[in-house]
Structure 1
Amino acid sequence: MIKSELILHIAQQNPHLYQRDVERIINTILNEIRDALARGDRVELRGFGAFSIKERQARTARNPRTGTPVSVGAKRVPYFKTGKDLRDRLNTEGE
């Protein structure tokens, strides 16, 4: 599901809301998550999961085409860990 499909789905489930308002709500939530991660904060959505940042150290990698060593700088990468409720729901749906 992409963001526009999510907005449309929520708008259809809530006919009392305008689609533009649903879009503004979704964008606000996603922007707040992005801004919190940029500050280095952890974002936890109970029952869904937690977003955090992992630090990757600088390292020497290998160019797969030529085999020559390539220097890769240190970086911060987003990380998502699913919540217990979501994991349980994913693993019991087909039973």
Structure 2
Amino acid sequence: MKKAELAAQVAETTDLSAKDAAKAVDATFAAIVKAMQDGDEVRITNFGVFAVSERPESQGRDPRSGAAITIKAAKVPKFRPGKPLKDALNA
């Protein structure tokens, strides 16, 4: 499902116009990103948790030359699904 399809489904379910539903979807994603940038977790009851994890610096190999390279430390997004979501997928 693409973002436009998600917005269309939200519009259909909530009786919002397509434009308003697209704004709502965009605002939701922006709020999740902003909270994660601030280092907060986003807990959506019955769905899951969006969080930020720190990946430490590590050593790797360049696949073309085989030379050792350093992979920089980074913050990476994580998603932990909630039990109702897992159950819905396995029903």
Match of 1:57 in 2: 56
Q: For residues 16 and 85 of structure 2, what CA distance do their matches in structure 1 show?
A: 27
Superposition pairs of residues 6-85 of structure 1, within 5 angstroms: 6-14=6-14, 16-85=15-84
Q: For residues 69 and 28 of structure 2, what CA distance do their matches in structure 1 show?
A: 38
Q: For residues 42 and 25 of structure 1, what CA distance do their matches in structure 2 show?
A: 20
* Aligned-partner SS, 1:77: strand
Query: Is there any run of 5+ residues in structure 1 with no aligned partner, and where?
Result: none
The 4+ residue runs of structure 1 with deviation greater than 4 A are none
Percent identity reads 34
TM score, norm. by length of structure 2: 0.94
Query: Is there any run of 5+ residues in structure 2 with no aligned partner, and where?
Result: none
State how many pairs are aligned.
91
